[in-house]
Amino acid sequence: MSDKVNLTIDGIEIQVEPGSMIIQAAMDNEMYIPYLCYYPGMKPYGACRMCVVKAEAPTPDGSYRALPGSPASCTTPVSEGMRVETNTDDLVGLRKGIMELLISEHPHGCLNCHRVELCGPTDVCLRHVSVNDRCVTCPKNERCELKDTVRYMEMELTTPLTYSNRHLPLEVKDPYWDMDMNLCIVCSRCVRACDEVRGDRAITLIDKSGRSIIGTAAGTSLLESGCEFCGACIDVCPTGAIVERDYKWDKAVQKISTTCPHCPVGCQLDLDVNKRNKVVRSIPNRQAEANMGMACFKGKFGLDFVNNKNKLKKPMVRKNSILEEVTWPEALDFVASKLENHKKGDYALIASARGTNEDNFAAQKFAGLNKNKRS
């Protein structure tokens, strides 16, 4: 007997794990429902209401009963035989109304402009949008989930270009990132990631002149609030409200997957590389088994040494008192020739704490430590 739940989304029959939320069921089957507050791996929250759907559940007599209203798909669990619709005219109109409320306090002159693909940071704006309010001058431009959602919904200009600016100063008192609460949509992803995933509770929702924004409970800096500076809040933020300070405006032209070099855990990272071949951003891989989208402050912010022009790129061997670059085979042959002159136990081997578990295991065996002994 199958332990899967059978349901239909937009006429397509699917099977999912029991207890799954509708939005996760859709994502697992490559169906898209717009969302802004939901994030895989965190508890359902239902703050933005962008993921509303129409759903019907079967009754014992074989008929279907509609769930009240338009439930949020991120907080509604699937049930056997459920029927879900995600893109009816009513739902599309409802989402657009919700989006208009969201962007009424967020700069949106570029969000629904037909020239957004052609415009640059130094171009004259035909809509007379302030330079500070343009998408093209936002550090999260082309990485903004709010912008992507507006594009998907094909929003038209039904809201005025003016918006209720919060006039909050840019927070720059912490060492690794900047916080611009004028761009916050209060999805609470950052607060929940800090609490649910990291267990730190360094940030929370606070009241600022009648508006909810992100801050610390006691009004202190993050240095004083117990923050570990893991950067999880940055990784989950859908807008430019929280961004890395270094290279914040640099755009990535390629992504490189790698393993963090700072310790043996083996955290997998996706690195953003700019057109000058510099690593400008480190994003923990959500699918990696070793870290599941998490990293420490070293993995998130401690990789700038990769961009050092003086870093060693090849092994070096001292010849006539001068270090010269050689190939790896030459370097290994050189080391092997030197080891021939030493008996077992007459040399010491130094391994790095930054080496992988596999590297240090091999070094341990090479040194002859902890060898299995037969009785």
CATH of the domain at 57: 3.10.20.740
pLDDT (0 to 100) of residue 344: 67
pLDDT (0 to 100) of residue 1: 44
The verdict on 76 and 102 lying in the same domain is no
pLDDT (0 to 100) of residue 257: 96
DSSP letter at 29 equals T
pLDDT (0 to 100) of residue 353: 84
Domain of residue 24: give its range.
5-87
CATH of the domain at 179: 3.30.70.20
Asked if residue 119 is part of any domain, the answer here is yes
The verdict on 18 and 82 lying in the same domain is yes
Between CA 247 and CA 281 the distance in angstroms is 8
Asked if residue 265 is part of any domain, the answer here is no
Q: Coil, strand or helix: which one is 358?
A: helix
pLDDT (0 to 100) of residue 65: 95
Q: What is the pLDDT of residues 123-173, one digit of tens each?
A: 888 777 887 788 888 999 889 999 999 989 988 765 566 677 788 899 998
Domain end point (choices 57, 87, 117):
87
The verdict on 39 and 110 lying in the same domain is no
Asked if residue 158 is part of any domain, the answer here is no
DSSP E strand boundaries for 24-182: 54-58, 64-66, 82-85, 177-179
Half-sphere exposure of 161 (CA within 13 A, CB side): 11
The verdict on 79 and 19 lying in the same domain is yes
- Start-end of H helices in 44-163: 89-103, 145-153
Alpha-carbon separation of residue 57 from 14, 79, 190, 252, 355 (angstroms): 15, 7, 34, 45, 54
Asked if residue 304 is part of any domain, the answer here is no
Q: What is the pLDDT of residues 87-101, one digit of tens each?
A: 999 999 999 999 988
Q: Please, which residues bridge with residue 272 across strands?
A: 255, 281
The verdict on 149 and 171 lying in the same domain is no
Asked if residue 134 is part of any domain, the answer here is yes
pLDDT (0 to 100) of residue 36: 96
Query: Per the structure, how many domains does the chain have?
Result: 4
> pTM for the complete prediction?
0.86
Alpha-carbon separation of residue 169 from 165, 183, 223, 241 (angstroms): 11, 11, 19, 12
Q: Backbone phi, then psi, for 21, in 5-degree steps?
A: -80, 155
pLDDT along the chain (375 residues), means of 10: 86 95 96 95 92 95 93 96 96 93 86 78 78 86 91 75 79 91 94 94 89 88 91 96 93 94 93 96 94 94 92 91 94 88 76 86 80 51
The verdict on 59 and 102 lying in the same domain is no
Between CA 196 and CA 131 the distance in angstroms is 37
Domain end point (choices 247, 279, 295):
247
First to last CA, the chain: 51
pLDDT (0 to 100) of residue 160: 60
pLDDT (0 to 100) of residue 291: 93
Asked if residue 266 is part of any domain, the answer here is no
The verdict on 184 and 146 lying in the same domain is no
pLDDT (0 to 100) of residue 163: 73
The verdict on 83 and 98 lying in the same domain is no
The verdict on 78 and 102 lying in the same domain is no
The verdict on 174 and 223 lying in the same domain is yes
Asked if residue 310 is part of any domain, the answer here is no
The verdict on 45 and 17 lying in the same domain is yes
The verdict on 83 and 14 lying in the same domain is yes
Asked if residue 65 is part of any domain, the answer here is yes
* C-alpha torsion sign, points 207, 210, 212, 213: negative
Domain end point (choices 247, 275, 306):
247
